[in-house]
Amino acid sequence: MSEHTLKVAILCFTDQGVAIAKTLQKEFNRSKIFTTRAVETNKDIKQIDAIAEVMAASFNTYDAWVFVGALGICVRSIAAHIKDKSTDPAVINVDDQGKFVQSVLSGHIGKANAITNQVSRILSAQAVLSTSSDLQELWALDTLADTYGWTLKNTIPTNQSIALFVNRKPTALILKIKDKGTQYLEKTCPDFVDIYYTIQECDTAAYELVLYVGYEILDTTTPVVSYYTPCIAIGSGCAKAIESPLLILGLETALKKENIAIESVCALGSATIKNEEQAYLDFAQHYDIPFITYTGDELNTITVANPSEMVKNKVGVYGVSEAASALISGQSTWLTEKTKVVTLSGKKFTYAFSIVSTYERKASIAIVGAGSGDPELLTIKGQYILEQADCILYAGSLVPEALTHMAKEGALVRNSASMTLEEQVAIMDEYYAQGKSIVRLHSGDPSIYGAIQEQMTIFDTKGYDYYIVPGISSFQAAAAYLKSEFTIPEVAQTIILTRGEGNTPMPEHEKIADMAKLRATMCIFLSVGIAKKIQAQLLEHYPENTPLAILYRVSWEDEEVWTGTLSELTTIIKANKLTRTVMIIVGEAIGARKNRSWLYDDKWNHIFRKKEKNKNVVLDKN
């Protein structure tokens, strides 16, 4: 829950407290101030006679309470209303000088600790936390599930498992699946925790605590905290009017047999002719999961592992359970292939289980944007992926070698500058077959002249899993160097990223001369060799004195930059013998310092800066 969705009550009792409360209200969009001081009231600021009345009426209607005043007032005000840490709102106390911010109630589940840190940053104050996991910068085991959409199950009381963890007892972390949560755990793993990726790798008896993220049921005497991810798809076909209790029992039994936790089931699927099958509807309702049905044509898009001519003759498809689970999971592989069950009433059903493809630990290819040249401009996500990769192929002529120094020990790192596309793919094929993590490291942002389209075509043909991580483009690095905003109100609101027509033909509707009619900020890539031609085309519509910037290897250690006017374009390039890795930028926005945006104008109101309406002055009753 962000500051934009949190419903926050702010209480204050002094003039200094009111000032702090108003500062906080600007940061928490859904907030209301309650104060005993005389104030100008509106719908977001209310003058009150007594704190007790407000607390009695509203304690559980807000996500968080921020007291600005003495801690004793805070404690006495909330004491009668505290019930349970799983339902109590967050309570934070700030002294009325704004020096200390203390988490008072519901530090983890209620997110008081996170709000305390946020408020301390807003006020430049000292955050005061007392929970051991936060002080040691350890994971909050009781909130991880909510943070990442998992379901928490303990074999011992939660407080006991937390005690083992914060006392840094030997702990095993088993990451069966992969998602944002497991990536966070890998990045922030404490030194007393050992990571495994399968149950079989881990001798649980050697640990005092086991943390597990996945879908399996662990059989061990060691205390286990299981985080079950919604990653299992069930496909099923059944006899008409099968009894609900028998189907539900049958599916529960099948999951236990396969050692799959019911908490990890994300959806149940079948054929459209089963839309109204009550047993399926009851199962889905009981476990609060969607029931999804597919037409025969949709089911027939899947090549099932166990086709049935009898089912084909009856319903027009070769298999329902395998096809439905494959469609839900996004892949035609199964943890459990079609299995038939006969219930106590004699009616039959089939089931198949699949893991949703996005959760599966398998080979993947990341096309990562390396940024414009400065290694420090690599994104945090890009750095993490590089550090975890088993194979890195980088364009050595365009990507700083320093980035490859982030590779882990044992990783293959190869410069692809001398390779053909086929040679690069051969290396990726080898590592993909081993289930490894592969990075194709491209200069700038891969989406801009990245030559990735032909690679993705091959990946699609081979059925490879791949994704793209954006990078900082050289045109953005150029704007930073030039200290320029390329979109100036009433001057230039359009940026054109293009190239001149050299050996590679340009589409007929993308001629530079035609685009020059817009007089936009134009960033021209890969065109230094035809600078004279580019200049002539630009001058058809841009004035000769239009600001110009020519940047060689911008953001690299040896960068060089020249500024002038459009009339000087070819002169600058010839005088400095520029032949490659040059960005040409033209437009009035270069170095401009005029025309204010309406965004921060005091007359411009929006959801985060509301227009003040008629105010009523409430006089101090004292």
Taking alpha carbons only, the member of 445, 438, 429 closest to residue 466 is: 438
Contacts of 416 (CB under 8 A, 6+ apart): 393, 394, 395, 396, 424
Query: What is the per-residue pLDDT for 594?
Result: 76
Residue 396 has pLDDT above 90, yes or no: no
Query: What is the per-residue pLDDT for 314?
Result: 82
Query: What is the per-residue pLDDT for 441?
Result: 96
Give the strand pairing for 336-342 and 348-355: antiparallel
CA distance 164 to 161: 5
CA distance 378 to 465: 23
More confident residue, 593 or 291: 291
CA distance 415 to 540: 42
Residue 108: pLDDT band by 50, 70, 90 thresholds?
confident
Percent of the chain at pLDDT exceeding 90: 84
In tens, the pLDDT along 31-72 reads 999 999 998 889 999 999 999 999 999 999 999 999 999 999
Cα atoms found within 13 Å of the Cα of residue 513, Cβ hemisphere only = 6
From residue 400, alpha-carbon distances to 68, 202, 308, 318, 555 in Å are 51, 39, 56, 53, 11
Query: What is the per-residue pLDDT for 11?
Result: 97
Query: What is the per-residue pLDDT for 606?
Result: 57
Give the pair of three-digit tokens for residue 576: 């400095």
Mean residue pLDDT across the chain? 92
CA distance 139 to 143: 9
Residue 597 has pLDDT above 80, yes or no: no
CA distance 210 to 205: 9
Span 486-500, average pLDDT: 93
Span 272-287, average pLDDT: 96
Residue 134: pLDDT band by 50, 70, 90 thresholds?
confident
Determine the distance from the C-alpha atom of residue 146 to the mean position of all C-alpha atoms in its chain, rounded to a whole number.
Answer: 15
Strand segments (E) across 299-335: none
Residue 292: pLDDT band by 50, 70, 90 thresholds?
very high
Give the pair of three-digit tokens for residue 306: 């166990």
Residue 605: pLDDT band by 50, 70, 90 thresholds?
low
CA distance 511 to 499: 9
Other residues' Cβ atoms within 10 Å of the Cβ of residue 588: 18
Other residues' Cβ atoms within 10 Å of the Cβ of residue 120: 22
Residue 615 has pLDDT above 80, yes or no: no
For residue 28, the one-letter residue type is: F
Length of the chain measured in residues: 622
If phi > 0 it is left, if psi is from -120 to 50 it is alpha, else beta; for residue 252 that is alpha
CA distance 219 to 222: 9
Cα dihedral across residues 482, 487, 491, 492: positive or negative: positive
From residue 335, alpha-carbon distances to 101, 331, 432 in Å are 50, 11, 21
Backbone angles phi, psi at 363, to 5 degrees: -60, 145
Span 538-544, average pLDDT: 96
In tens, the pLDDT along 188-244 reads 999 999 999 999 999 999 999 999 999 999 999 999 999 999 999 999 999 999 999
Span 589-600, average pLDDT: 75
Query: What is the per-residue pLDDT for 595?
Result: 67
More confident residue, 57 or 620: 57
If phi > 0 it is left, if psi is from -120 to 50 it is alpha, else beta; for residue 224 that is beta
Query: What is the per-residue pLDDT for 480?
Result: 96
Residue 622 has pLDDT above 50, yes or no: no
Taking alpha carbons only, the member of 123, 105, 141 closest to residue 23 is: 123
DSSP 8-state class, residue 79: G
In tens, the pLDDT along 142-193 reads 999 999 999 999 999 999 999 999 999 999 999 999 999 998 999 899 999 9
Structural domains of the chain in order of their starting residue, each with its CATH number? 7-130 (3.40.50.11220), 144-228 (no CATH), 232-359 (3.30.420.180), 364-472 (3.40.1010.10), 475-586 (3.30.950.10)
Taking alpha carbons only, the member of 574, 575, 581, 576 closest to residue 532 is: 574
Span 455-474, average pLDDT: 95
Residue 94 has pLDDT above 70, yes or no: yes
